């Protein structure tokens, strides 16, 4: 395959949604990248948009800590449920009131980051192929978060809790599963007993436990999963929640009274957006809306257009030493180490590719020590015409074809100075920056680039090598840019040799919308070469 083909054609053949094809997809992606760019000067790689999943876990931790404190005071009775929370809010505002507010605002924050996380993954196409598992397991998370939140508001048993109890029971009565209407349990104050609040307390503890278990299943196929945001972002988030709790503390409504109709309420729109619809729509219509949205999310990975099928990574046992570096670096746990199948006298393990989990990112190729272009010329058994093979590589992105492309790119530059630009097909459009002194080489992920290829390019005539990938902290394949930086800093194998001149290597972590940033990096590299 000729990797000098147009970018859109490359992405289609690779079977990845790295470049949106439709106008709506391109527009939505452009808007998303532009919004995220506004936050980068402030947060850098700690941009909240790059850590929405981490923040979801973090808000859960805050809810767990604050909820534990509230649990020791909460009295699960008709009168005690309201009285204990009022005591914490008014008499113990300095701690209990803050804990109640933290619990409420963290719950709202979790809904917000989950909604943004779903929207972002949808725009970026992170729901197809091997990513379908994380997408589908995320749907039950959404349901459990809402269920736990609604129960929490109900447990306060103020006017808002009364409204939720009546409306929810009327909504559930539409389903033909109850022997008698649930709404009859909320006609008179005497109908509500302490047993109900004990049941609500058990559910409010049990549902989050199932939620946590599902969250862990959600990240099961993701290696090196982040379940805690960076320290700076975590600290800033907690401080913001504390300030909000002090400046705008959570205050309940009046005590629930079923003898009086509730009129004016302050709804929490994060959780109760559907309740006003119950006043204007039929209950069946609300069921149809929420059920339809849930089913749409659940089957979203099956919607067209489907990605083109493509070969997954292939292991060549003749060059696999069983070192396990590819398994350690794979972002999706698509590689496992198994007992050797060829009875090798020295090596005991071999890499095994789990086809259903491979996303064809090629990061494993960059991890393999045998992805070394110097083997092509220094191993007599191979000969100069022999094909260079790695222990593990993508058939459509082989190291042999990469070596040929690097050679061709350098031969095509006839300028005084030569700059080789390695770039990711998910980041900035490096092909648009091809000039008389700049030759681009596109990879599915910058993490696929073996460090030895950088040294090889510099020895073969490149005056400088510029590496371009997705924005720092926002790698399309999660870890590609991070692994490459660590390899070049000799913090992760395979290393870039110390003898390589680091001054001749440049970096630019830019999205497709950051064309000027990429151009500035190229100009900087030109100046650096000329001033040597």
Q: What is the DSSP string of 493-505?
A: SSPPPTTS-GGGE
Number of Cβ atoms within 10 Å of the Cβ of 198? 12
Structure tokens at 178: 């109850």
Residue owning tokens 């409420």: 104
Structure tokens at 44: 């850098």
User: Is residue 114 within 8 Å of 122, Cβ to Cβ?
Assistant: no
- HSE of 9 in the Cβ direction (CA atoms, 13 Å)? 7
DSSP 388: P
Closest CA to 440 of 467, 403, 460: 467
pLDDT (0 to 100) of residue 44: 85
Q: Give me the average pLDDT of each 10-residue run along the chain (532 residues).
A: 37 39 80 91 90 97 97 95 95 94 97 96 87 94 96 96 93 84 82 93 96 95 92 96 96 92 88 94 95 95 70 92 95 94 89 91 95 72 67 92 94 92 91 93 95 95 94 91 94 94 93 90 93 82
Q: Which domains does the chain have, with CATH numbers?
A: 51-299 (1.20.810.10), 314-530 (no CATH)
Backbone angles phi, psi at 338, to 5 degrees: -125, 170
Whole-number Å distance between alpha carbons of 423 and 414? 21
User: Is residue 444 within 8 Å of 402, Cβ to Cβ?
Assistant: no
pLDDT (0 to 100) of residue 307: 60
User: Is residue 449 within 8 Å of 443, Cβ to Cβ?
Assistant: yes
User: Is residue 353 within 8 Å of 315, Cβ to Cβ?
Assistant: yes
Whole-number Å distance between alpha carbons of 370 and 274? 57
pTM surpassing 0.85?
yes
Backbone angles phi, psi at 507, to 5 degrees: -135, 150
- Range 18-26 contact pairs with CB under 8 angstroms and sequence separation of 24 or more: 18/125, 18/425, 18/426, 18/444, 18/476, 19/425, 20/125, 21/305, 25/123, 25/125
pLDDT (0 to 100) of residue 285: 96
Q: Give Cα separations from 223 to 111, 114, 215, 409 (angstroms).
A: 25, 20, 14, 35
- Residue 221, exposed/middle/buried by CB under 10 A (0-12, 13-18, 19+)? buried
Q: Cα angle at 101 between 152 and 48, to 5 degrees?
A: 100
- Please list, residue by residue across 443-475, b when 16 or more beta carbons sit within 10 angstroms of its beta carbon and e when fewer do: bbbbbbbbbbbbbbbbeeebbbbbbbbbbbbbb
pLDDT (0 to 100) of residue 9: 35
What contacts 91, CB < 8 A, 6 or more positions away? none
Whole-number Å distance between alpha carbons of 442 and 425? 6
Closest CA to 518 of 443, 447, 455, 427: 427
Whole-number Å distance between alpha carbons of 25 and 376? 42
Q: Give Cα separations from 375 to 70, 364, 367 (angstroms).
A: 64, 18, 16
User: Is residue 130 within 8 Å of 358, Cβ to Cβ?
Assistant: yes
pLDDT (0 to 100) of residue 512: 85
Question: Sheet holding 419-424: strands in order across?
Answer: 438-443, 419-424, 464-469, 505-509
Whole-number Å distance between alpha carbons of 493 and 20? 33
DSSP 182: G
Whole-number Å distance between alpha carbons of 10 and 363? 17
């Amino acid at each position: 395959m000729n990797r000098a083909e147009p970018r859109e054609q490359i992405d289609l053949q690779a079977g990845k949604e790295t470049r949106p094809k439709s106008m709506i997809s391109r527009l939505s992606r452009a808007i998303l990248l532009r919004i995220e760019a506004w936050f980068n000067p402030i947060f850098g790689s700690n941009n909240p948009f790059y850590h929405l999943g981490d923040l979801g876990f973090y808000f859960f931790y805050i809810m767990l800590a604050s909820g534990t404190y509230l649990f020791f005071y909460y009295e699960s009775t008709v009168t005690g449920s309201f009285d204990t929370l009022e005591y914490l809010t008014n008499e113990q505002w300095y701690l209990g009131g803050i804990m109640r507010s933290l619990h409420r605002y963290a719950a709202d924050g979790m809904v917000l980051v989950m909604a943004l996380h779903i929207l972002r993954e949808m725009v970026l196409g992170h729901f197809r192929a091997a990513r379908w598992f994380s997408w589908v397991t995320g749907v039950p998370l959404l349901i459990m978060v809402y269920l736990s939140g609604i129960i929490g508001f109900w447990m306060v048993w103020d006017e808002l809790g009364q409204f939720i109890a009546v409306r929810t029971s009327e909504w559930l009565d539409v389903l033909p599963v109850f022997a008698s209407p649930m709404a009859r349990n909320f006609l008179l104050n005497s109908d509500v007993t302490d047993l109900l609040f004990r049941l609500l307390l058990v559910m409010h503890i049990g549902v989050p436990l199932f939620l946590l278990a599902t969250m862990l299943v959600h990240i099961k196929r993701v290696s090196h999963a982040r379940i805690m945001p960076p320290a700076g972002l975590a600290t800033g988030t907690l401080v913001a929640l504390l300030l909000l709790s002090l400046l705008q503390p959570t205050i309940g409504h009046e005590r629930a009274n079923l003898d009086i109709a509730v009129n004016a309420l302050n709804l929490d729109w994060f959780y109760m957006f559907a309740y006003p619809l119950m006043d204007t729509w039929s209950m069946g219509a609300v069921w149809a809306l929420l059920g339809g949205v849930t089913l749409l999310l659940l089957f979203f990975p099956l919607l067209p257009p489907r990605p083109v099928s493509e070969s997954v990574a292939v292991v060549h046992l003749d060059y696999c030493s069983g070192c396990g570096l590819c398994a350690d670096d794979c972002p999706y746990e698509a590689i496992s180490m198994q007992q050797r199948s060829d009875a090798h006298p020295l090596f005991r393990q071999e890499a095994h590719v789990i086809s259903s989990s491979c996303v064809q990112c090629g990061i494993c190729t960059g991890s393999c020590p045998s992805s070394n272009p110097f083997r092509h010329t220094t191993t007599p058994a191979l000969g100069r015409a022999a094909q260079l093979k790695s222990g593990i590589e993508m058939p459509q992105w082989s190291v042999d074809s990469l070596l040929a492309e690097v050679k061709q790119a350098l031969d095509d530059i006839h300028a005084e100075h030569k700059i080789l630009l390695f770039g990711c097909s998910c980041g900035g459009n490096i092909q648009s920056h091809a000039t008389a002194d700049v030759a681009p080489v596109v990879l599915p992920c910058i993490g696929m680039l073996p460090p030895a290829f950088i040294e090889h390019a510099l020895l073969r005539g490149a005056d400088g090598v510029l590496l371009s990938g997705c924005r720092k902290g926002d790698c399309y394949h999660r870890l590609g840019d991070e692994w490459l930086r660590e390899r070049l800093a000799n913090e992760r194998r395979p290393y870039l040799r110390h003898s390589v001149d680091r001054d001749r290597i440049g970096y630019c972590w830019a999205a497709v919308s950051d064309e000027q940033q990429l151009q500035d990096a190229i100009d900087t590299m030109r100046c650096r070469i000329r001033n040597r």
